[in-house]
Amino acid sequence: MTGPSRTRFFLAGIIQGSLRGLGVFDQSYRHRIKAVLRGFDPDCELVCPVEEHPESVRYTDGQARETFLANVERAKQCDAVIVYLPEASMGSSIEMWEAHRCGVPVLTVSPLDSNWVVRILSDHVFPDLGGFESFVSSGGLSRLLPGKPR
């Protein structure tokens, strides 16, 4: 008899947002989210596009297209998508849409709680990372993903 399967999380979130040029937003939020998710399931698989493609802002159009489309597909195949949106992100909104369409739970950390995309595509919206941490530590993720660790 086997135990619960390994939980797969897709970490979506702002990378370039509306910045011009090759700049990116501070990505340290990803470390905190990863720590919370590893607390839920130490063996979880964390799909992190920034970790896998740290130089993606310098990709050619062909490389960027291939990488983006592959990431959207991967988001649809995960157990949940965790999204960090301190402000709007076109790429994250597409990942949210596709995950939502496939029935994958979308958990969004964002102060943009009146934004239509955030409101209608998210299963849960948290105003900050502390709210997300509280949700996970109080068993919210376990209730959302029955049969997964914890």
For the chain (length 150 residues), average pLDDT per consecutive 10? 74 76 80 96 93 77 92 96 95 96 97 96 97 96 82
Domain range for residue 53?
8-143
Within a domain: 2? no
Residue 138, domain CATH: 3.40.50.450
3-state secondary structure of 107: strand
Average pLDDT, the chain: 90
Within a domain: 148? no
Domains held by the chain: number = 1
pLDDT for the residue 149 = 65
pTM summary value: 0.90
Within a domain: 30? yes
pLDDT in tens, 105-141: 999 999 999 999 999 999 999 999 999 999 999 999 9
Check if the beta carbon of residue 46 is closer than 8 Å to that of residue 81.
no
Among the listed residues 17, 49, 18, 54, the one whose alpha carbon sits nearest the alpha carbon of residue 33: 49
Edge-first strand order for the sheet with 124-126 is 45-47, 8-13, 80-84, 106-109, 124-126
Within a domain: 1? no
Within a domain: 65? yes
